[in-house]
């Protein structure tokens, strides 16, 4: 069995969903005083402030849901998901995302692919008594390269250990992502694994830089993609062998 790990923002979907939900805000924009509170590495805290502002403006659960449901999938992603549906028994599929549970679930259910995923790891979210959309951090960690609320390497490592305890060993791990926070877990992949960075995005650039600086240090095979159909084709070849 193979483990297939997906990122969500700008990987499964063709946008950053945190930016997308601003479409539900009055005038589809945020006021400058909120935007100025953003600090590098503390995006989750920033989004908590954004959501409080939107709640104050009367943006409701249904408004957010509509936005999430309408975010387009990335090029070729439906093809890849169709392929995975047909070969479901060969792949265990998980999703690790710094977005939020409510948004991911709304989007994947609308697209018809929610049931493909065995497990989704993302920031906890929901609606409080006032009907405000609330967001929390996923966990805390000691990784210096990742945002304060989530280290995907920690999540992936713990998941593999947990599955090993349940006597599930994966022949290979495939990781599909785009961002710097996807580079962190992909560094732990072995030479039999495959990293699929989206072409021209930070994860792709970082694998290239590492290869230049320390040839051979990045062990996984790197297969960049522009359309997820390329990922499907690669996996098809793997199954033929």
* Catalytic residue selected from 9, 19, 63, 182: 9
Whether 19 is catalytic is no
pLDDT per residue as tens digits for the range 106-137: 999 999 999 999 999 999 999 999 999 999 99
| Residues 127 and 11 occupy one common structural domain | yes
- pLDDT band of residue 40 (cuts 50, 70, 90) is confident
Tell whether residue 18 is among the known ligand binding residues: yes
Mean pLDDT over the full length of the chain: 96
For position 234, which CATH number holds? Answer: 3.40.50.1000
Domain carrying residue 80: 2-15+73-240
| Residues 161 and 200 occupy one common structural domain | yes
| Residues 98 and 57 occupy one common structural domain | no
Whether 182 is catalytic is no
Tell whether residue 56 is among the known ligand binding residues: no
| Residues 42 and 106 occupy one common structural domain | no
Which contiguous run of DSSP H or E holds residue 7? none
| Residues 44 and 25 occupy one common structural domain | yes
CA gap 8, 85 in Å, rounded: 18
| Residues 59 and 83 occupy one common structural domain | no
| Residues 112 and 226 occupy one common structural domain | yes
For 186, half-sphere exposure in the C-beta direction (CA atoms, 13 angstrom radius) is 31
Tell whether residue 7 is among the known ligand binding residues: yes
% of the chain surpassing 70 pLDDT: 100
- pLDDT band of residue 14 (cuts 50, 70, 90) is very high
CA gap 9, 95 in Å, rounded: 11
| Residues 28 and 91 occupy one common structural domain | no
């Amino acid at each position: 069995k193979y483990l297939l790990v997906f990122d969500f923002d700008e990987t499964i979907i063709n946008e950053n969903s945190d930016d997308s939900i601003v479409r539900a805000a009055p005038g589809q924009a945020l006021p400058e005083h909120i935007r100025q509170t953003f600090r590098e590495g503390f995006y989750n805290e920033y989004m908590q402030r954004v959501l409080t502002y939107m709640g104050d403006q009367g943006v409701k659960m249904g408004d957010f849901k509509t936005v999430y449901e309408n975010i387009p999938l990335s090029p070729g992603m439906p093809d890849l998901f169709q392929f995975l549906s047909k070969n479901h028994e060969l792949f265990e599929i998980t999703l690790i995302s710094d977005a939020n549970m409510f948004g991911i679930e709304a989007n994947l259910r609308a697209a018809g692919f929610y049931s493909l995923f065995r497990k989704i790891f993302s920031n906890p979210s929901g609606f409080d008594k006032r009907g405000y959309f609330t967001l929390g951090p996923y966990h805390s960690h000691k990784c210096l390269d990742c945002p304060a609320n989530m280290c995907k390497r920690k999540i992936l490592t713990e998941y593999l250990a947990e599955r090993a305890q349940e006597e599930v060993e994966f022949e290979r791990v495939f990781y599909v992502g785009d961002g710097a926070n996807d580079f962190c877990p992909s560094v732990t992949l072995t030479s039999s694994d495959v990293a699929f960075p989206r072409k021209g995005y930070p994860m792709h650039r970082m694998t290239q830089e590492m290869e230049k600086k320390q040839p051979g240090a990045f062990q996984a095979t790197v297969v960049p993609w522009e359309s997820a159909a390329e990922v499907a084709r690669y996996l098809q070849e793997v199954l033929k062998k």
